[in-house]
Amino acid sequence: MSRSKSPDQRTGNANTAAESAAPVVHEGRAPRVPAGLKRVGREVWRNVWQAGNGAYSPETDRNIILRYAELHDRRASLLAAVDNDGLMTVGSTGQPAVHPAMRYVESTERELRAIETVIGFTPEARMRLGIVAAEARRVAAGPEDF
């Protein structure tokens, strides 16, 4: 029977969970609203940064939050077109058909749901984010404050 290697000779994947780094709280104001966003996107931008309560980093999370706000702008534009034209249109052979923009609304909403999970806008993700944010606030406050 062979003996196990000493820890300094082992290679490969660790068999224990790595220690996680201390969560980081980003204090201060949210980044300025990007110029390209429309009304809905601007509102979403502000709401996401406010809801994050310091859990999002302007350096690393800015692009995903920007993408989320842009998708909300796209969804609003598509729904405005559907509202303007009506949900049902006439198909190529004269049959009633759902407005073609609805296909893009559905794909946009699918992308939004994926991002909502990442940034903590589902109940489970919000719970994980809340735990992380609470831990970050505790670490930032220091032991003497508790």
Q: How many separate domains does the chain show?
A: 1
Half-sphere exposure of 5 (CA within 13 A, CB side): 6
* Residue 64 counted as domain residue: yes
> Over the stretch 96-128, which tens digit does the pLDDT of each residue have?
999 999 999 999 999 999 999 888 888 887 777
Q: 95 by DSSP, 3-state: which?
A: coil
State which of 5-9, 28-32, 90-94, 104-108 shows the largest mean pLDDT: 104-108
* Residue 26, token pair as written in the block: 């980003």
What angle is formed at CA 88 by the lines to CA 114 and CA 75, rounded to 5 degrees? 25
* Residue 23 counted as domain residue: no
* Residue 88 counted as domain residue: yes
Range of the domain at 62: 32-139
What is the C-alpha to C-alpha distance for residues 90 and 105, in angstroms, rounded to an integer? 19
